[in-house]
């Protein structure tokens, strides 16, 4: 990938605003704060802001910045890890002087002035790692840690099918900055007892379709019982992924707004393409990992049926 359009735009801009997707995961956050740290280290006189309304729940990431519309109008906007404009967690990015999208999802819309998309990359943090390597600027320990967290989580510890030789090269490059890999793993994957107890609950909630698909529907009452947000609960979706028989697994969490129930979902698979089905319901993501939000109960069950139909017959 040619990074000159990105690096030249950064060098020219006085104000830079950086964006992520709604309900940010570690790849979105790692890319966002990793890029901000890299710009601060290499261009200390520039004003750089990481924007987003939703409070990060994963890893130890800083709080988001808050800026006025006037600041955004004068800025270069860089949108990370977000395939379509509707998912950007601050729609004011479109007011900026220039917009650049950096992403690894299959492209839905090319909504920016410059679109740097590599759907073969396992994570947006992988793309930025190669960008920083080619640029030969300062890469601080903090930058490397942020990017490694995104790379590690988007590949489920390098277990997903989109993990390539380049992914491991990016990880090795970041590890070369003396990041503490065991500490990062504990930070990301060690959880309190309440999470362990919730996993036990999920075993009871699991619905198994012909031994080949598993899903759980977590109600608002259960979320409150275990003191979890919907996003935190859906992080447990891969509890079902280690079962060799399950070709697709999913988790849906209830969200109540004005007395109406909506369901947000995370879907995973070993080999079955799931993102095409998710797109029909307003969601999207990777071939084997995708999400959706705001479904009615009937839409959720329709989605489950359509996903099951994607599993090849034996």
Q: Give residue-wise pLDDT tens across range 70-86.
A: 999 999 999 999 988 98
Residue 262, pLDDT score: 97
Residue 136, pLDDT score: 85
Q: pTM here? A: 0.85
Short-list 62, 76, 167, CA closest to 122: 167
What is the rounded average pLDDT of the residues 56-66? 80
148, burial (CB in 10 Å: exposed 0-12, middle 13-18, buried 19+): buried
Alpha carbon distances (Å) from 300 to 84, 218, 283, 284, 285: 22, 12, 12, 15, 17
Looking at the chain, the domain(s) classified CATH 3.90.1640.10 span 4-188
Check residue 267 and report its DSSP letter: E
Residue 55, pLDDT score: 74
Looking at the chain, the domain(s) classified CATH 3.10.310.30 span 193-309
What is the rounded average pLDDT of the residues 108-117? 92
115, burial (CB in 10 Å: exposed 0-12, middle 13-18, buried 19+): middle
Residue 121, pLDDT score: 96
Q: Which CATH class is domain 193-309?
A: alpha beta
Contact 62, 28 (CB under 8 A): no
pLDDT in tens, 226-270: 999 998 899 899 899 989 999 999 999 999 999 999 999 999 998
Whose structure tokens read 């891969």? 238
Answer yes or no: is pLDDT of 91 > 80. yes
Give the confidence band of 42 by pLDDT, cuts at 50, 70, 90. Answer: very high
Q: What is the mean pLDDT of the chain?
A: 94
| DSSP E strand stretches across the chain | 15-19, 47-50, 76-80, 98-103, 114-117, 207-209, 213-218, 248-257, 260-269, 284-285, 289-295
What is the rounded average pLDDT of the residues 148-162? 90
What is the rounded average pLDDT of the residues 199-222? 96
Residue 314, pLDDT score: 67
Residue 106, pLDDT score: 83
When comparing pLDDT for 313 and 177, which is higher?
177
Residue 90, pLDDT score: 95
d(CA 249, CA 213): 6
What is the rounded average pLDDT of the residues 178-184? 96
The number of CA neighbours under 13 Å toward the Cβ of 93 is 30
Residue 122, pLDDT score: 94
Whether domain 4-188 has CATH 3.90.1640.10: yes
């Amino acid at each position: 990938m040619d990074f000159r359009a990105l690096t030249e735009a950064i060098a020219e801009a006085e104000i830079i605003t950086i964006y992520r997707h709604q309900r940010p995961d570690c790849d979105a956050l790692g890319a966002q704060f990793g890029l901000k740290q890299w710009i601060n280290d290499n261009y200390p006189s520039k004003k750089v802001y990481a924007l987003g309304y939703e409070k990060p729940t994963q890893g130890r990431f800083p709080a988001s910045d808050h800026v006025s519309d006037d600041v955004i109008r004068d800025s270069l906007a860089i949108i990370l890890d977000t395939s379509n404009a509707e998912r950007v967690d601050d729609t004011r990015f479109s007011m900026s002087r220039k917009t650049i999208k950096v992403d690894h999802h299959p492209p839905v819309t090319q909504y920016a002035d410059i679109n740097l998309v590599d759907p073969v990359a396992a994570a947006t943090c992988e793309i930025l790692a190669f960008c920083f390597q080619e640029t030969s600027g300062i890469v601080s320990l903090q930058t490397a840690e942020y990017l490694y967290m995104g790379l590690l989580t988007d590949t489920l510890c390098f277990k997903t099918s989109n993990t390539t030789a380049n992914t491991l090269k990016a990880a090795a490059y970041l590890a070369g900055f003396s990041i503490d890999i065991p500490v990062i793993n504990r930070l990301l994957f060690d959880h309190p007892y309440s999470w362990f107890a919730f996993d036990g609950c999920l075993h009871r909630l699991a619905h198994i379709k012909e031994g080949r698909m598993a899903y759980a529907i977590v109600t608002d009452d259960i979320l409150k019982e275990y003191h979890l947000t919907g996003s935190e609960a859906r992080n447990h979706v891969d509890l079902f992924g280690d079962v060799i028989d399950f070709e697709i697994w999913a988790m849906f969490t209830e969200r109540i707004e004005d007395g109406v129930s909506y369901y947000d979902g995370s879907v995973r698979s070993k080999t079955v393409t799931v993102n095409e089905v998710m797109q029909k319901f307003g969601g999207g993501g990777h071939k084997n990992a995708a999400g959706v939000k705001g479904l009615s109960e009937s839409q959720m069950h329709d989605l489950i049926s359509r996903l099951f139909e994607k599993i090849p017959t034996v």
